[in-house]
Structure 1
Amino acid sequence: MQQASLPLAGKSAVVTGGARGIGRGIVMALAEAGADILIADLLEDDMRATQEAVRGLGRKALVRRVDVTDAAQVQAMVDQAVAELGGLDILVNCAGVISIHPVANLTEKDWDFVMGVNAKGTFLGCKAALGPMRARQSGRIINVASIAGKEGFPNLAHYSASKFAVVGFTNALAKEVAQEGITVNAICPGIVRTYMWDRLADEWKNDGESVEDSWARHQLTLIPQGRAQTPQDMGRMALFFATMDNVTGQSVNVDGGFTFH
């Protein structure tokens, strides 16, 4: 395939939480479409592995350790992308964390940690990206929320709150920048076999049930299609948002029919 035929040829992207799981799926989809990528994460070995995979496609790939709750680190991430990749066309805020507690046992520390990474991290990433995107009057911001940002789940009230925040923030920011050539959308993944869902499958297993049995049961009982989603599914949704000029303010479920709103 010729470089010129790739839809993101000549574009540059930053993906937070891009080292593994959904983040890596998004990184690879954007790279396969022609984008150069800065991968931001805290997982050194996984970042390097993903970097090599992107370079194997003939794209530029940078890695940077970033705590997305630290405004200075987030700004430095964006500045590096602009300086070394020639600009910032696409930002994907995928860094996320989860913990499992009923509200009665939820500590302020747990609340602040989950809200800090998931909600504040998204805010800081978007704020830092607006400068270079406004300078070009062009940009694509893609936030990774969750179906837990559309409906609540027991023992995940703080996680749901953080993802509801991402959904609302996405819609509001999209309206702020709608006439500046910048779109802002969110992906709401369903059940994806990542580290997070392994923890949930373990937490929610029935008596005598293994994690694998719990995982299989949740796919069959919660997903009308009867099968889990994949990081590659999320990558394809990110590519859609990255290439659409006239779609903004949306939070789209990629969940096999789990939710309808």
Structure 2
Amino acid sequence: MSNLLPLAGRSAIVTGGARGIGKGIVLELARAGADVLIADLLEDAMQATADEVRALGRRALTRRVDVTDATQVQAMVDEAVAAFGALGILVNCAGVISIRPVADLSEKDWDVVMDVNAKGTFLGCRAALAPMRGQGWGRIINVASIAGKEGFPNLAHYSASKFAVVGFTNALAKEVAQEGITVNAICPGVVRTYMWDRLADEWKQEGESVEDSWARHQLTLIPQGRAQTPEDMGRMALFLATMDNVTGQSVNVDGGFTFH
């Protein structure tokens, strides 16, 4: 593999890396030269994505991980360090969503979304700090959302979890800013994943199909008039993984959806 690849010799963990945005990030990091541990709960999808990484000439591991379990998260990091010799990049992409107005929101609804999206991010970051500090270099990339900057109806709990990720990212970045570790977040806009299909179905108008709803949301919500892709998120992750002086930021990749 050419030493000109920007991530040659680096290794990464991507949680939620089996499909969707996570897969887009996994493949972009691999194309840039990184070996990747893919952590997810979807065994078949993980294996398929790992096969694509290996086809690019990189090493790939898969591990079934519940990101809300500190023991499992620590074991994930330990495996990556043991297999690759180091851990340079952590991408916290595992996430869940549900759709309910606050009046109908149960404590369990709240807890599930907050545990995966916010606590899972915290646990991943905490576990990765020791190996990154030990080598004086690290890149932590948390996947938040434009819903972490702007609230959406029936998604208050999801927005709360992603606002938490944005704030946590900025605070942690300041803690480790002089240790060679950067911490940033990607805020995806409208990406056609399982989550957005559910929203298109929930928000469709009378007589409208899911496909019609999806098309309308692209045209009405996105100034560019087209959805973003997992590959777009992968390219932003690669940018953040290769920049030394960008830290504490939550970067929108949303086609102009929001400005803050």
TM-score range, shorter chain: over 0.9
Partner of 1:218, secondary structure, is helix
What does residue 19 of structure 1 align with?
18
- Cross-structure match for 2:96: 97
> Which residues of 2 match residues 18-167 of structure 1 at below 5 A?
18-167=17-166
Distance 1:105 1:3 in 2: 55
Where does the alignment leave 5 or more consecutive residues of structure 1 unmatched?
none
Map of 1:190 onto structure 2: 189
| CA–CA distance in structure 2, aligned partners of residues 200 and 120 of structure 1 | 24
Deviations 1:161-182 (A, max 9, x none): 0000000000000000000000
Q: What is the CA distance between 1:3 and its match in structure 2?
A: 1.6
Quote the Cα distance in structure 1 between the aligned partners of 2:203 and 2:42: 27
Inter-partner Cα distance in structure 1 for 2:206 and 2:214: 14
- Output the CA distance in 2 between the equivalents of 1:5 and 1:50: 24
Separation of aligned partners in 2, 1:157 and 1:85: 39
Task: Please report the RMSD computed on the Cα atoms of aligned residues, expressed in angstroms.
Answer: 0.4
Q: Which residue of 2 aligns with 1:253?
A: 252
Does residue 225 (structure 1) correspond to residue 205 (structure 2)? The answer is no
Q: Percent identity, aligned pairs only?
A: 84
Whole-Å separation in 2 of the counterparts to 1:3 and 1:141? 24
Instruction: Give, in angstroms, the shift of residue 156 of structure 1.
Output: 0.1
1:237 aligns with 2:236: yes
Could you say what secondary structure the match of 2:3 adopts?
Answer: helix
Separation in structure 2 between the aligned mates of residue 33 and residue 201 of structure 1, nearest angstrom: 34
SS at match of 1:5: coil
Tell me how far apart the structure 2 counterparts of residues 166 and 215 of structure 1 sit (CA, whole Å).
27
Q: Secondary structure at 1:184's aligned position in 2?
A: strand
Q: Unmatched 5+ residue regions in structure 2?
A: none
Distance in 2 (CA, whole Å) between partners of 1:260 and 1:133 is: 32
Per-residue CA deviations over 1:163-212 (Å, capped at 9, x if unaligned) read: 00000000000000000000000000000000000000000000000000
Within 2, Cα distance between the matches of 1:155 and 1:87?
42
Secondary structure of the corresponding residue to residue 3 of structure 1: coil
Indicate the SS of the match to 2:142: strand
How far off its partner does 1:42 sit?
0.1
Tell me which amino acid in the other structure corresponds to 2:212: D
Residues in 1 aligned to 2:155 and 2:45: alpha-carbon distance in whole angstroms: 27
Q: Deviations over 1:228-248 (max 9, x none)?
A: 000000000000000000000
Please give the TM-score of this superposition, normalised by the length of structure 1: 0.99
Letter in 1 for 2:126: K
